[in-house]
Amino acid sequence: MIRTLRRAMRRAHRRRPVDLSHPARSPLGSAVVNCVVYADGVRQPCDGDAREALRQVRKKGRGFVWVGLHEPTEVEFAVFTEVFGLHPLAVEDAVHAHQRPKVERYGDTLFAVLKPCVYVAHAELTATSEVVDTGELMVFAGPDFVITVRHGRHGSLGPLREALETQPAQLAKGPAAVLHAIADQVVDDYLAVVDAVQQDVDAVENAVFSASAGRADAGRIYQLKRELLELKRASGPLERPLLALATEQPPAPPIGAAIQPYFRDVVDHLARVGEQIAAYEGLLDSILQAHLAQVTVAQNEDMRKITAWAAIIAVPTMVCGVYGMNFDHMPELRWTYGYPLVIGVMATACLVIHRAFRRNGWL
């Protein structure tokens, strides 16, 4: 079932390209992207009014309402707070965003904060390259409603909604099925990001250990570590609350026994994300240490060469300094061949010292 749903999502992506920059504002309202009623997993006719949609669902005693919002203001969200009876603390988090990923329970309503991530493609990793970009997605899941609030450019749920509508049996499991599908998509995106980041890690590793290791830049390594930290902040805090949803006995509403096993699959994928991030962090630490060691070795090589040439130059400097004292009684001072002799001695001494340094690997 999960694999079928994922294939349907990929087909939805191919059918209709998604513009993640900003969705067109819906005629339903300045922040309302969609308002849909589902009964037995099938989309029902709805005029887009959330109050009327909820009344319709509760009158029939089955189905649920799914409302999608994009960056609503407090005024725009006030009507949904009243209609669905949302907790003011959760509403404040949903409107103002910039929250830590979490799952909280307010009565029979679950409030989840997720951070969708995407990999930012780049021709070459630099010390200022953006590798991971995040958005923010809040989900209210009640007994007969789902409200999704999206902030930022990422985390579009259009393809997910289309994919779910092709699986009415899964959608019939209620709001918990929608919450699972959203969490599953977000975690799968994490996996795609960490797989893409591996290319950057490999590129940095090759640069450090290649023959042209001088091209390696510690700034690139630090930048990649910072981007991995952003991904870790988005994914790490979710593992414990999702595990609680997957293992809680008996499962508390709106999570039912039928949907609970699906959350275990999400937790398993999230654990894989955490393991890969930890592995990349350890590898980058080793790469950084290797790069710093190479820099130290190169500096030592330079210092040895400078020292060797200074020792060679010291010989003629010393001899010239002695003969520049202008004493009357200097060795071979009045001899015709004294000057060529001194030059020859200095050249011979320099050559002997140079050969000795070459033998010892200093030059």
Interstrand relation of 109-114 and 102-106 (parallel, antiparallel or unpaired): antiparallel
Same domain? For 195 and 315 the reply is: no
> pLDDT truncated to tens, each residue of the chain (363 aa)?
444 545 544 444 433 333 333 344 444 445 778 888 999 889 887 776 888 889 888 988 889 999 999 999 899 899 899 999 999 999 999 998 888 999 999 988 999 999 999 999 888 888 888 899 998 999 999 999 999 999 987 778 888 989 998 999 989 899 999 999 999 999 999 999 999 999 989 888 888 887 555 556 788 888 899 999 999 999 999 999 999 989 888 888 888 888 888 999 999 999 999 999 999 999 999 888 888 888 887 788 888 888 888 888 888 888 887 777 777 767 767 777 777 888 888 888 888 888 888 888 787
Q: Token pair 């799914």 is at which residue?
A: 66
Same domain? For 244 and 182 the reply is: yes
Same domain? For 98 and 13 the reply is: yes
Let me know if residue 299 belongs to a domain. no
What is the spatial distance between Cα 13 and Cα 158, in angstroms, rounded to a whole number?
A: 9
Contact 48, 79 (CB under 8 A): no
- Counting the structural domains of the chain, the total is 2
What is the spatial distance between Cα 141 and Cα 329, in angstroms, rounded to a whole number?
A: 105
DSSP helix/strand/coil, 230: helix
Same domain? For 132 and 269 the reply is: yes
Q: Is the pTM of this model over 0.85?
A: no
Same domain? For 266 and 352 the reply is: no
> Which CATH number fits the domain that encloses residue 189?
3.30.460.20
Residue 335, domain extent: 304-359
